[in-house]
Every structure is written in C-alpha cells, then in structure tokens.
C-alpha cells in the first residue's frame, strides 16, 4: 500500500483510536472520527479542553489505529500538531468532505483540528481466510507524466524557472516559458508521457507536484539541445528540480534513479547531463547519484557548464533497494 491507498483506506473506515501520552508518560486512548488529507495526514477534531490537547502540546508523538470492524486495520505512528493558516484550511476541507455533519463543530472556538503527520503505518488484514500485514510506503510518489497533466507540468516548470537558482540551472527563462501558449505545454507533456524519445518523471505529494526530472534520448548523428553533435547514442537528464521544502530529503535521488532506470530499460548505457560550474548543490546531488565529470566543459546560454556522465551497464549499478519502480502510464 502507498500513500494514495492509505488515504482511501482512512476515508473509507472514517474512525479509529488515538493514543497520546499523559503527564506521567502513561498512554491515554480515545475513539474518534478520523479522515485524511490528500497527502495522507490524519485529521481529527477535539475539544481544546480535552486531555488529548494538553498531552499533544506537551508531547506530540501519537499512535493511531484506524478501522478494525471489518477485520482490517491500519496501525499508525506519527507526530501531531494543531495546524493554522493554509495547513488548517487543507485539514478543514478534508474534515468537512468526510464529515459534513460536523460543520458547526468546526466553527466552535472550543474545538480544534489535530493533524497527524505519519512516520510509520502498517495495514493488517485478518479477515477470515486472510492473515497478512504490510508496511505502507509513505514516501512521495513518483510517476511518468500523463498527457492530461499539462497544466500541472506547466505550473511546476514556471515555479522552477522562478527559483533563486534558476539562472544557473535552466536554459529557458521564466518570461519565455510564461509566454508560451497552452498548446506548447500540451504538446510537450504529451511527448514526455509516451514513447521512447523523452520521458518526464514527477514527484507528487498528495496533490502537490514537488519535483521533476526529464530524460531525453539522443541518437548518434543527431545534435543535442545545445546544438552540439552527438557522437555516441546516449540519454540526457534535463529539467531537474525539487521544491525547497523537499530538498535534502533524498527525493532527487529517487527521481534520478527512476530516469536512469527508464534509459537503461531502453538499452542506453550512458546517461549524461550538463550542469553550471557554480551549481554546487546540483553537482553534489549528481555525484551522489553516480555521475562523474567527464572532463568536457562548454559554454551555454547560462554560462560555463560541465558535462557529467553515469554509465548504466551492467544493469543500473547503484543500490536501488529503496527506490520505487517508475509507474509508467
């Protein structure tokens, strides 16, 4: 089960037991209606005067069990908070979608929403004839774009081009990309969604697009996107971007690994990229993903760049045990 499956499970079950830690560290449990946001945070509402709220303010660690009546159950552990601003709005939306009958309660100043960000979850299925349990994969999901994703692809691209490092990261400018008509993004996303020439892989946190990597195949005898002749067939990584709040999380490694796997499956043994000489952070991420400078340097529209390469045979040689396979289609 992944996060999307967890969200569906929690919304279907709609109740569970929340366990908090009392003042002397002893557990205290309460049975409550529970739902989940699109990104898989649990949401409950509680009275501000309750023991739960005092406990959470002192120690935010919680355990929650969702479901149980039908023989299936989701055991969860996480960290709770009392969200405000846009975070509260997202939780309130999820809560009202699930429990419209509690609208008045949400408007009551004596009631607060609790959000639980999960650190671990396990689904158990103990219905007659079944006995299984599986840990839920709580990581951000990665998949290839679909043609109808073009609006989200456009929005992520424009945000990337407004990044403070965009000037040493992308050949395209924000102004130029923002002026492109919808049909440009429809065509670009459709090409990246299907076929063996180009693939865009995106990381999606709930409904938020938070990262992207595009892989372009370059056949010997063609010219690359810098206008340089391609001597040996290879795949090239472009458009690498991870939103600020997901940087340093290892997400870029998973995106690059997904792209490398795609190129490898097409039979390419060489993955290359160009990176600005001063983009130390990107170079660090690429080195960690198995890329090394080839020794080739060149001047592009953004300034001095160096080429980095990664060899993909035999197999994709890095440890991929913690990488989810790309969901293509």
Ligand X SMILES: CC(C)(COP(=O)(O)OP(=O)(O)OC[C@H]1O[C@@H](n2cnc3c(N)ncnc32)[C@H](O)[C@@H]1OP(=O)(O)O)[C@@H](O)C(=O)NCCC(=O)NCCS
Q: Which residues of the shown chain bind ligand X in the complex (CB under 6 A)? A: 163, 165, 169, 240-242, 247-248, 252, 275, 279-282, 284-285, 288
Please give the structure tokens belonging to residue 81.
């908070």
When the beta carbons of 280 and 327 are compared against ligand X, the nearer one is 280
When the beta carbons of 9 and 291 are compared against ligand X, the nearer one is 291
DSSP structural state of residue 223: B
CB of 212 to ligand X, least distance (A): 9
CB of 168 to ligand X, least distance (A): 7
Q: Are 13 and 66 in contact (CB under 8 A)?
A: yes
CB of 279 to ligand X, least distance (A): 5
CB of 240 to ligand X, least distance (A): 4
CB of 283 to ligand X, least distance (A): 7
CA separation, residue 324 to residues 4, 310, 328 (Å): 14, 20, 12
Instruction: State yes or no: cis peptide before 314, omega within 30 of 0.
Output: yes
CB of 278 to ligand X, least distance (A): 9
When the beta carbons of 29 and 178 are compared against ligand X, the nearer one is 178
Torsion of CA 262, 263, 269, 275, to 10 degrees: -120
When the beta carbons of 90 and 169 are compared against ligand X, the nearer one is 169
Cβ-closest residue to ligand X? 284
Kindly provide the b/e burial profile for residues 263-273, where b requires at least 16 CB atoms within 10 angstroms of the residue's own CB.
Answer: bbeeebebbbb
Neighbours of 229 (CB within 10 A): 9
Return the beta strands (E) in the chain as ranges. Answer: 15-21, 27-33, 35-36, 42-47, 61-67, 72-81, 111-125, 132-135, 141-144, 198-205, 208-218, 234-242, 270-276, 292-300, 303-311
From first CA to last CA, the distance across the chain in angstroms is 19
DSSP structural state of residue 49: T
When the beta carbons of 76 and 255 are compared against ligand X, the nearer one is 255
Neighbours of 147 (CB within 10 A): 14
Please give the structure tokens belonging to residue 218.
């370059």
Q: Are 137 and 120 in contact (CB under 8 A)?
A: no
Phi, psi of 231 (to 5 degrees): -85, -35
CB of 273 to ligand X, least distance (A): 7
When the beta carbons of 186 and 324 are compared against ligand X, the nearer one is 324
CB of 269 to ligand X, least distance (A): 22
When the beta carbons of 221 and 284 are compared against ligand X, the nearer one is 284
When the beta carbons of 280 and 296 are compared against ligand X, the nearer one is 280
């Amino acid at each position: 089960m992944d996060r999307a499956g967890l969200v569906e499970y929690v919304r279907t079950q709609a109740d569970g037991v929340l366990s908090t830690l009392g003042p002397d560290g002893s557990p205290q449990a309460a049975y409550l209606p529970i739902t989940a946001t699109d990104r898989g945070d649990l949401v409950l509402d509680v009275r501000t005067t309750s023991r739960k709220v005092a406990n959470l303010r002192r120690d935010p660690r919680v355990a929650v069990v969702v479901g149980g009546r039908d023989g299936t159950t989701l055991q969860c552990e996480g960290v709770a908070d009392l969200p405000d601003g846009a975070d509260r709005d997202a939780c309130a939306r999820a809560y009202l979608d699930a429990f419209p009958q509690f609208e008045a309660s949400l408007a009551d100043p004596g009631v607060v929403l609790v959000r639980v960000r999960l650190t671990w979850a396990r689904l158990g299925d103990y219905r007659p004839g079944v006995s299984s349990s599986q840990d839920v994969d709580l990581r951000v999901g990665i998949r290839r774009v679909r043609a109808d994703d073009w609006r989200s692809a456009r929005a992520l691209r424009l945000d990337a081009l407004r990044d403070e490092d965009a000037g040493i990261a992308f050949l395209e400018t924000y102004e130029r990309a923002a002026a492109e008509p919808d049909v440009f993004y429809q065509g670009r996303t459709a090409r990246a969604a299907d076929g063996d020439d180009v693939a865009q892989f995106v990381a999606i946190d709930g409904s938020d697009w938070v990262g992207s990597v595009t892989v372009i195949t370059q056949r010997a005898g063609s010219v690359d996107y810098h206008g340089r002749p391609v001597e040996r067939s290879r795949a090239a990584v472009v458009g690498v971007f991870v939103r600020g709040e997901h940087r340093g999380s290892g997400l870029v490694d998973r995106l690059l690994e997904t792209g490398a796997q795609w190129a490898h499956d097409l039979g390419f043994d060489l993955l290359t990229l160009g990176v600005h000489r001063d983009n130390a952070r990107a170079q660090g991420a690429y080195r960690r993903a198995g890329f090394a400078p080839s020794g080739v340097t060149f001047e592009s529209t953004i300034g001095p760049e160096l080429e980095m390469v990664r060899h993909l045979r035999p197999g994709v040689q890095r440890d991929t045990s913690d990488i989810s396979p790309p969901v293509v289609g």
